[in-house]
Amino acid sequence: MRFGSDCFVVGRGVPPKLFGVRVCQSCCLCKFCKFIYIYFCLEYAYHQQQQQLITMAESKKKPAAKKKRKVNYKTEYRKYHSSDRMKKERALRNKNRRRLTREGRVKKGDGKHIDHKDGNPKNNGKGNLRVIDAKRNRKKQ
């Protein structure tokens, strides 16, 4: 069997497309080339599998824990919750909750939220309010 410069054995495998192996000029693999070819394919597959495992392991590593920031509730209230707009919105939420409590649709500690069907918190008509689970309401937002 004649080996050309394209042969895997002689040329030491300048990689083409598939597994990075070139073979003899005779269109079929000689015994030695076949052995080297199979060995190389197995090594290549093993290497690829190892790379995937390493990548998966690295992606599963937990990120470093973030340092928790202490919340200053006084400052937060002073900056945000004490504004006239927030006070009015909070009063409307409380009013709606009290109204539905009187109707018997909700009660304290039931884990239910009052949802606006159209998503507009200022539209507080009876037809726009509904009672849903807290989990479903959080998922919706």
State the total domains in the chain.
2
**Domain contains 3:** no
- Quote the CA–CA distance of 4 and 7 in Å, as a whole number: 5
pLDDT of res. 18: 41
> What is the model's pLDDT at position 59?
72
Q: Would 2 be classed as within a structural domain?
A: no
Is residue 49 situated within a structural domain? yes
Domain span holding position 127: 84-140
Of the candidates 13, 3, 1, the one whose C-alpha atom is nearest the C-alpha of residue 39 is: 13
Q: Mark whether 88 and 133 lie in a shared domain.
A: yes
What percentage of the chain reaches a pLDDT higher than 70?
A: 65
Mean pLDDT of the chain: 75
Separation between Cα atoms, residue 138 and residue 35, nearest integer Å: 61
113-141 per-position pLDDT tens digit: 999 888 888 888 889 999 999 999 888 76
- Is residue 44, in this structure, part of any structural domain at all? yes
